[in-house]
Structures are given as structure tokens and as C-alpha cells.
Amino acid sequence: MTVRLGVLGARRGLSFAHSAKEGKSADLTLVSICDFSGKKLDAAAKNYNVKFHSDFKEMLASDIDAVVLANYFHEHAPYAIQAMEAGKHVLSETIPAGTMAEAVMLCEAVEKTGMTYMFAENYPFTKIGLAMRNEYKKDKIGKVIYAEGEYIHPIEATMLNTLSPGINHWRNWMPSTYYCTHALAPLMFITDCKPVRVNALSIANDNVAKGTTRRSDPMAVMLVTMNDGSVFRITGWVTAGGHGSRFRIIGEYGTLESPMPHEGGFFGNGRLTISQNELRKRELDTYSFSYSPEWPEDAKDAEKSGHGGGDYFMTKLFVEAINSQKAPAYFDVYDGAAMSAVAILGWRSALEKGKPYDIPDFRDENARNAYRNDFATPFRGTHNHPLLQPSVNGERVPSEEDIKVSEKIWSEL
């Protein structure tokens, strides 16, 4: 069946719209785009001959089968729930739930409505991510003991202000642990491990956010214990240092490593390195070996889609999940809720100097009950939820100059 798609949010959402329009996303037809910004809709109308809506409810009432949620980072769960209750399947951008209570509500809405829900994490589905999983599944390094995932994406002040229009825009308040899925999801995809505990530390630095109104820290280090006892060290969105993503899996008798980012573009020089030790008979001629993986045969169009091909696989898996009426393996609502909990409870851990927090099992009623009324959030705006501080130092206070520069950029958007 061809899935008729509506997209909420006309910025990141337009990459999905583009893929669907170009026919690059298997069996997806773009039907409508929704954004409450008239300017964004006018700009989108120059490239897309589809229906435009300023109201999400209006789009839900139209002739679509599924929605992509690319609205504000912390507001996906309420829209996902509304969409599923209206009989639409949901592909939700990160982060699936902005509060612990919403993570519980999201799981319950999927169970109640029976609609397909998929958490749209694209970083696992790069050439390197797919190859690392393939080698891991071939038992090249044994069982994972430890892994590292880094998402380092500094953004220059003018661009950051453009991407974060307004004092209360989510990017200006997001604590350093919250955008952790680009680092964690690839490791979960490669190893099939699930998070059960998090300890985190956040590092404050006022300098890095100069020229912006960001209140939060540039970096967090999070230790995530997984359900097989392995420990993953991940970052959130890091806004300091040199640009790049990197993944490393240390197994019982070997290591899989993605390239160092400085050896090429964002994903490095594209070469995957496998090393093996003497704990078992080595299969490799040398201790370590690198090669440039190719796309799998069925992924000819992946290269053309966004984020190193990741967007292609994600939409393909979504359509397959809808057509098979089975929950997507990467990633279903329970994985999405667990990753949200790593972000949210990771932040509480950082505020308490690294205290461990257990990630609840979202399939378990008692575990859900513990968080059913927990709406605490660091994000500012129109809600009445209890507020968390956005930095380990309380809050970075933008200077008068930071505010002046930022407001000037916002007024020109």
C-alpha cells in the first residue's frame, strides 16, 4: 500500500517531504505539509504542489494515512497521541517524549490505538552504521563490553540564532543530555542492547554560547548501562570541539570503529576498522583491518537522501512496519520511551553530580506508575509544568550584547 503522508513542521520536516516528493522514500506519497508559520508555508509552496495547513487538527482530518512529526523537539508526544487517536500512523522525530509522564502516555496510546508508531532515528542507518551492525552480527568481535557514541555538532552563532528563533526556542534551553539519540541509537542498532541505567555529568562553559541566548551547557558525558551489563559512553548534542560523529564498539575479542571525523567529512573518511586480539583464533591476516563499506544492494537511492543516507532507511522501515502491521524493530515506542528517559533522567543525574537513575521498563505497569505524573521539564514556553534548570550552573545568563545580536537576527528572519 502507498502511504499518504502529512508532514508537521516545515524545516526538518521538508527533508521528509523532499524524499517523498522525489519518490526516494519507498511507497510514500506526500499529501500535505502543516506549519503554523505562514512564512514557512509560503516558502514550501514554491517547491511542493500539495495541500498546506496551519492547523494540525485540520491536517489530521484530511486524507492522509500517516504523519511525520518534525515540530518542536520537546513537543512530539502530545501530537503523536492526537494523531494515533485520529487513526494515523506516526513517524516521530527526536525526542519521542519531552517528559517522563509523556513517555508513559505515548506507550499507552500506541497500545490502545494499535497504530504504527516509529521513532525516527536516522543516525544508525548510514553506510558505516549498517556495516558495523553487519560485522557485529557476524561475531567479528564477540559480545559488546563497552561502546562509545559521539555526536559533535558545533554551530556558529549567527546560524544557531537562525535555527533558534526566540528567547524560548527549544534549542536555547535544551540541556546537554537531551539530544542523546544520535549517539545512543546507532549503538543500540549495532548491538541490540537496551538501556537500563544512566549516570551523567554536564560541563558548563559560557564562552561557547557567546553571541546567542543559549542557557545550557555545551556538553554532557553519559554512562549508560545496558541490559546485558555492557556500558556505553555517549554524549548529547555537543556544541564545542570539532565537528563529527563517531562510534566504537569494544567486544570480548575485538573492536569495531567508525573513522575519526577529522579524516574527512562529518562521517570521516568512510572507512570502518576492525581489530581482533589473541583471545580467540584470529580471522584477520593483521591485527587490524579497514575497508570502505558499500550500501547494501537494495539501497541504490540511499546516497541521495539526507544525513548520510539515514533518512532513506528510516522511511523504508516505517512503510514496511505499516504494511506488515508489526511494530518497527528500529525503533518502536518502548525503545523511543527508553531513549527519552536516558535524556531526561540523564539530566537529573547530571544535576545530582552523576547519581545513577534506573531507566524504567515502559512495558511494566508499576514502572510506568512511578512516572505517570512527572511532567518536569527544562523547556520554557506556554506550559505550566515544573521547571528544571538548563545548566549544571543553574542557567547561562546571556549578556545584553548576546540578546541584542540575537534579536537583530530574529527580526530579519
Ligand X SMILES: NC(=O)c1ccc[n+]([C@@H]2O[C@H](COP(=O)([O-])OP(=O)(O)OC[C@H]3O[C@@H](n4cnc5c(N)ncnc54)[C@H](O)[C@@H]3O)[C@@H](O)[C@H]2O)c1
Only segment of 6-14, 205-213, 221-229, 379-387 that touches ligand X (CB under 6 A):
6-14
**In this complex, which beta carbon is closest to ligand X, that of residue 160 or of residue 222?**
160
Q: Least CB distance from residue 73 to ligand X, whole Å?
A: 4
Q: Does 94 bind ligand X (CB under 6 A)?
A: yes
- Distance CA(128)–CA(123), nearest Å, equals 10
Of the candidates 42, 27, 45, 35, the residue with the CA atom closest to the CA atom of residue 7:
35
Contact 316, 300 (CB under 8 A): no
* Residue 299 burial (C-beta neighbours within 10 Å; 0-12, 13-18, 19+): middle
Are 412 and 196 within 8 A, CB to CB? Answer: no
Closest approach, Cβ 123 to ligand X, in A, equals: 7
Give yes or no for residue 405 binding ligand X (CB under 6 A).
Answer: no
Give least dist CB 33 to ligand X, A: 10
- Shortest approach of ligand X to residue 367 CB, angstroms? 25
Q: Are 276 and 134 in contact (CB under 8 A)?
A: no
Count the site residues for ligand X by CB under 6 A. Answer: 20
Query: Does residue 70 bind ligand X (CB under 6 A)?
Result: yes
Residues recorded for the chain: 413
- State yes or no: residue 340 binds ligand X (CB under 6 A): no
Which DSSP symbol is given to 384?
-
Q: Least distance from C-beta 331 to ligand X, angstroms?
A: 12
- CA dist 173 to 5, 28, 185, 217, 406, Å? 31, 34, 23, 9, 15
> Which of 3, 34, 101, 226 is close enough to bind ligand X by CB under 6 A?
34
Interface mask toward ligand X for 111-130; x: CB under 6 A: -----------x--------
Least gap, CB of 358 to ligand X (angstroms): 25
Is the CB of 76 or the CB of 89 nearer to ligand X? Answer: 76
> Quick check: 223 binds ligand X (CB under 6 A)?
no
CB count within 10 Å of CB 225 equals: 18
Find the binder of ligand X among 3, 20, 32, 35 (CB under 6 A): 35
CB of 121 to ligand X, least distance (A): 7
User: Are 274 and 288 spatial neighbours (Cβ–Cβ below 8 Å)?
Assistant: yes
Question: Does 71 contact ligand X by CB under 6 A?
Answer: yes
Instruction: Decide: is 282 part of the binding site for ligand X (CB under 6 A).
Output: no
For residues 201-214, one letter each, b for 16 or more C-beta atoms within 10 angstroms of the residue's C-beta and e for the rest, the string is bbbbebebbebbbb
Per-residue cell: 190: 549495532
CA 119 from centre of chain: 8
Binding site for ligand X (CB under 6 A): 8-12, 34-37, 40, 56, 70-73, 93-94, 122, 163, 307
